[in-house]
Amino acid sequence: MTDRLIILGSTGSIGTQALDVARKLGIKITALTANSRVDLLEEQAREFNPRMVALLDEKAASDLRVRLADTDIKVLSGIGGICECAREESADTVLNSIVGMAGLVPTLDAIDEGKNLALANKETLVAGGQLVMDAARNKGVNIYPVDSEHSAIFQCLRGAPRERALKRIILTASGGPFFGKTREELADVTAAQALKHPNWEMGAKITIDSATMMNKGLEVIEACWLFGVHEDQIKVVVHRESIIHSAVEFDDNAVIAQLGLPDMKIPIQYALTYPNRYPSPTDELDLATLGTLTFAEPDYETFDCLSICKEAIRRGGLYPCAANSANEQANFLFRNGRIGFLEIGELVGEAMEACENKYDFNLMDVMATDRLAREFVSRKVAERKGSI
């Protein structure tokens, strides 16, 4: 179990729930970071008294520095400040709950400093899976998944034989708010409609990713890296109720699943207390009350982002990074009413095809691919608008 914890992205959906868990278990917080939410970070800093905090936004950080002048808390800014927090020396674990591939460099810094990782920031593994897994192996640090499906798989694999008996991963998907809809019906859906997730309360970016099923595509890639499997060993199944968080199938066709009510506090807490388990604020699961659990095949044609991610990890190299970065940009444009829902998948697919791939790459190549994919999407959108 972690004793001293750093939380990156502490003002978000996962970050605030992680602080709830830390408060209940009495875990000491040594550093906190966020993008620009001064009020909430100040409140968190006053309650948890970390050694340092950082805001990406320089102006917001100046404001926070004034507000925390009566404390001993060091206030840092920019990506450099976030990375300094990720390396805070007294902590043993970093929980990365930053959204997007902005979390990659702080992840690598945390590993370099020998910290164990509790990883919610799936884009880190999608964009830089090879770099992160190699670094973790070299430093001998552990990566504990926070994403509910990956936590489920991780839990199902406890007690599995050391030699490879794992045949398949069964990755469950809620299907999001638009399950069962046709492309025609999706042409005019708005961001407000896409932001209404049936089962989970999450940040805006991942909620849109759930509606397009890009989220499940990113999770396929995340699972490939975390569990050392190929894409064709992962079977995605739509399970509307989000009670079975995922399952593993062994060579003898025995299937082990992890169940629970949809509440991120369970996987967050397990990532922080592994291998121990403690009482949780989450309600007990009552199967008889639930009555029925349902399962269905995903619709790969309508939800093309899922197919594109599977193709990206099959190809390997920088393709997953290109698809992820294009999606970050397209997701943002959709949330701001600049593009239609179906354009997200189109742009992600085109940006992946345009990727200048390398199989042997470093962090600079990942950063360059990120920039090119975002520029590609912006340029395509500008061209489309110009031609209307």
Contact stretch for ligand NAD (CB under 6 A) within 108-116, 132-140, 178-186, 197-205:
197-205
Least Å distance between CB 163 and ligand NAD? 31
* Interacting partner of 234 out of ligand NAD, Mg ion, none (Cβ under 5 to 8 A depending on kind): none
- Of residues 203 through 262, those in contact with ligand NAD by CB under 6 A are 203, 205-206
Choice between 149 and 365, CB closer to Mg ion: 149
* Interacting partner of 102 out of Mg ion, ligand NAD, none (Cβ under 5 to 8 A depending on kind): ligand NAD
User: Hey, what are 60's tokens?
Assistant: 């917001």
Contact stretch for Mg ion (CB under 5 A) within 35-43, 145-153, 266-274, 280-288:
145-153
Residue of 147, 299, 304, 370 interacting with Mg ion (CB under 5 A): 147
User: Is position 249 an interface residue for Mg ion (rule: CB under 5 A)?
Assistant: no
Residue of 5, 19, 29, 34 interacting with ligand NAD (CB under 6 A): 34
Choice between 195 and 354, CB closer to Mg ion: 195
Least Å distance between CB 53 and ligand NAD? 12
Q: Taking the CB of residue 224, how many other CB atoms lie within 10 A of it?
A: 23
Residue of 42, 88, 109, 123 interacting with ligand NAD (CB under 6 A): 123
* Interacting partner of 327 out of ligand NAD, Mg ion, none (Cβ under 5 to 8 A depending on kind): none
Contact stretch for ligand NAD (CB under 6 A) within 117-125, 181-189, 340-348, 374-382:
117-125
Choice between 7 and 353, CB closer to ligand NAD: 7
- Of residues 55 through 94, those in contact with ligand NAD by CB under 6 A are 56, 82
Residue facing ligand NAD at closest CB distance: 12
Task: Report which of 119, 162, 179, 177 is spatially closest to residue 143, judged by C-alpha positions.
Answer: 119
Residue facing Mg ion at closest CB distance: 147
User: Is position 9 an interface residue for ligand NAD (rule: CB under 6 A)?
Assistant: yes
Contact stretch for ligand NAD (CB under 6 A) within 34-42, 190-198, 269-277, 353-361:
34-42
* Interacting partner of 129 out of ligand NAD, Mg ion, none (Cβ under 5 to 8 A depending on kind): none
Count of residues touching Mg ion (by CB under 5 A):
3
Compute the distance between CA of residue 249 and CA of residue 257 in angstroms, rounded to an integer: 9
- DSSP letters along 221-235, please? HHHHHHHT--GGGEE
312-332: buried (b, 16+ CB within 10 Å) or exposed (e) per residue? bbebebbbbbbbbbbbbbbbb
Give the three-state DSSP class for 13.
helix
Residue of 4, 6, 12, 48 interacting with ligand NAD (CB under 6 A): 12
User: Hey, what are 118's tokens?
Assistant: 């509790």
User: Is position 21 an interface residue for ligand NAD (rule: CB under 6 A)?
Assistant: no
Reported as type and span, the H/E element at residue 300 is: none
Block residue for tokens 């791939």 = 357
- DSSP letters along 98-131, please? --SGGGHHHHHHHHHTT-EEEE--HHHHHHHHHH
What residues are paired with 153 via a beta bridge? none
Contact stretch for Mg ion (CB under 5 A) within 30-38, 141-149, 256-264, 372-380:
141-149
CA–CA–CA angle 158, 110, 66 (5° rounding)? 130
Query: Would residue 298 be called left, alpha or beta, if left means φ above 0 and alpha means ψ between -120 and 50 degrees?
Result: beta
Compute the distance between CA of residue 121 and CA of residue 138 in angstroms, rounded to an integer: 21
Going from the C-alpha of 359 to that of each of 62, 156, 315, 332, the distances in angstroms are 42, 32, 9, 28
- Which residues fall within 8 angstroms of residue 258, CB to CB, at 6 or more apart? 151, 152, 153, 155, 156, 244, 245, 246, 247
User: Is position 222 an interface residue for Mg ion (rule: CB under 5 A)?
Assistant: no
User: Is position 300 an interface residue for ligand NAD (rule: CB under 6 A)?
Assistant: no
Interacting residue ranges for ligand NAD, rule: CB under 6 A:
9-15, 34-35, 37, 56, 82, 97-99, 102, 120-123, 147, 200, 202-203, 205-206, 264
